[in-house]
Copies of this chain bind each other. A is one copy, B any other.
Amino acid sequence: MLIFVIALTMDNQPTISQYIHKLFPQFEPALKEKLIANCTLKSFQAGEILMQTGQFFRSTMLIVEGRVKLYRQGDEGEEFFLYYIQPGDACALSMICAAKQETSEITAKAIEDTVALLIPIPLMDELMRDYKTWYYFVIETYRSRYEELLQMIDHIAFKGMDERLEFYLKHQYEKLKTRQLNITHQEIANDLNSSREVISRLLKKMEQRGDLLLNRNYIEWIK
């Protein structure tokens, strides 16, 4: 029985090498070897905080399994949703802050059981210098996060809550790849820094327009 459990565990947890080849095929072979030789895996349970305001980093993280939600924290503990990071993504913040040994103003929470690849900070300079595909990966990570923040600013600066809600649901649908969004009105309200009543009312309007169906504990996105 014990042997069976171990076998299962080995089955479910790919090696660093397998993760890298699957999720980062664009890396040049030498870079892959370098990472395989120098990185470690770390697991987080759903709900666990990967990093938080004021925390220093000892490693840069690449997500290889699960899903991580990034929040900006308000003065009174509000949690404003910024974006998800998924397998194949890097945590831009952990790169930036790692490089400068600065603290972060962001909270990253695992919303599924998550596995991250930890790259020791001292290795970063070397990777950046020696591997062009790494340098491009880092640049692309920054660029796409930067774009996401800009898009977020657009929404809160120029749009009303109705449009933001619609964008939020569409984004969930696209990221999670399911029309059945398992989320409560209260959770949406938290992510958008609004209140449940407002969200409920707007959802009702959207249902009347035929964009979605409301159910207890989940929303069916049709549009």
Contact = CB atoms under 8 A, between A and B. Distances in A.
Interface string A121-142: 0000100111010011001101
Contact of A143 (B96, B143, B150): B96
A154 B135 CA distance: 30
B106 A153 contact: no
- Interface residue tally of chain A, by bracket? 35 or more
A9 to B, nearest CB: 38
Contact of A150 (B72, B99, B100, B128): B72
A147 B145 CA distance: 12
A71 to B, nearest CB: 11
Given A128-B135, A135-B128, A143 B80 contact: no
Contact of A154 (B72, B129, B150): B72
B106 A143 contact: no
A105 interface: yes
Given A74-B157, A80-B154, A146-B149, 20 more contacts: A72-B150, A74-B154, A80-B158, A82-B153, A93-B146, A96-B142, A96-B143, A97-B143, A99-B136, A100-B139, A100-B140, A100-B143, A106-B150, A128-B135, A129-B130, A129-B132, A129-B135, A146-B146, A153-B156, A156-B157
Interface of A: 72, 74-75, 78, 80, 82, 92-93, 95-97, 99-100, 102, 105-106, 125, 128-130, 132, 135-136, 139-140, 142-143, 145-147, 149-150, 152-154, 156-158, 193
